[in-house]
Amino acid sequence: MVRTGFVEKNLRILFPLPAIAFVMVMMIFPIAYTAFLSFTNWNLTSGQPLNLVGLRSYARVLREPRVLDAIGRTFLFTGGAVFVEAILGTTVALVLHREFFGKGLMKLLLLLPLVATPVAIGIVWNLFYDPTIGLANYALSILGIPKLAWVSDARTVIAALVVVDVWQWTPMISLIVLAGLAGLSSEPYEAARVDGATERQILWNITLPMVMPTILTAMILRTVDALKTFDIIFAMTGGGPGYSSETLNVLGFKYSFEYFKMGQASVILVFLFAIVLLCSILIMKVRDRTQV
Q: Domain of 173: which CATH number?
A: 1.10.3720.10
pLDDT at 189 over 60: yes
Task: List, for residues 229-266, the tens digit of each pLDDT value.
Answer: 999 999 999 999 999 999 999 999 999 999 999 999 99
202-209 contacts at long range (C-beta below 8 A, 24 or more positions apart) = 203/94, 207/94, 207/181, 208/90, 209/290, 209/292
Task: List, for residues 66-96, the tens digit of each pLDDT value.
Answer: 999 999 999 999 999 999 999 999 999 999 9
> What is the spatial distance between Cα 102 and Cα 139, in angstroms, rounded to a whole number?
28
Look up residue 152 and give its amino acid. Answer: S
Q: 52 - beta bridge partners? A: 40
> What is the spatial distance between Cα 203 and Cα 210, in angstroms, rounded to a whole number?
10
In this structure, is residue 15 part of a structural domain?
Answer: no
- The mean pLDDT of the chain is 89
Each residue of 163-200: b (16+ CB within 10 Å) or e? Answer: bbbbbbbbbbbbbbbbebbeebeeebeeebeeeebeee
In this structure, is residue 60 part of a structural domain?
Answer: no
Q: 40 - beta bridge partners? A: 52
pLDDT at 1 over 60: no
In this structure, is residue 25 part of a structural domain?
Answer: no
In this structure, is residue 32 part of a structural domain?
Answer: no
In this structure, is residue 20 part of a structural domain?
Answer: no
**Overall pTM > 0.85:** yes
Q: What is the pLDDT of residue 81?
A: 96
Q: What is the pLDDT of residue 128?
A: 95
In this structure, is residue 12 part of a structural domain?
Answer: no
Name the domain count of the chain: 1
> What is the spatial distance between Cα 266 and Cα 134, in angstroms, rounded to a whole number?
38
CA-derived radius of gyration, the chain: 24
Mean pLDDT of 15-41: 86
In this structure, is residue 49 part of a structural domain?
Answer: no
Q: What is the pLDDT of residue 165?
A: 96
pLDDT-derived band of residue 123, with 50, 70 and 90 as boundaries?
very high
In this structure, is residue 81 part of a structural domain?
Answer: yes
Mean pLDDT of 3-30: 76
Q: What is the pLDDT of residue 127?
A: 94
Task: List, for residues 130-172, the tens digit of each pLDDT value.
Answer: 988 899 999 999 999 999 999 999 999 999 999 999 999 999 9
Domain extent for 148: 67-289
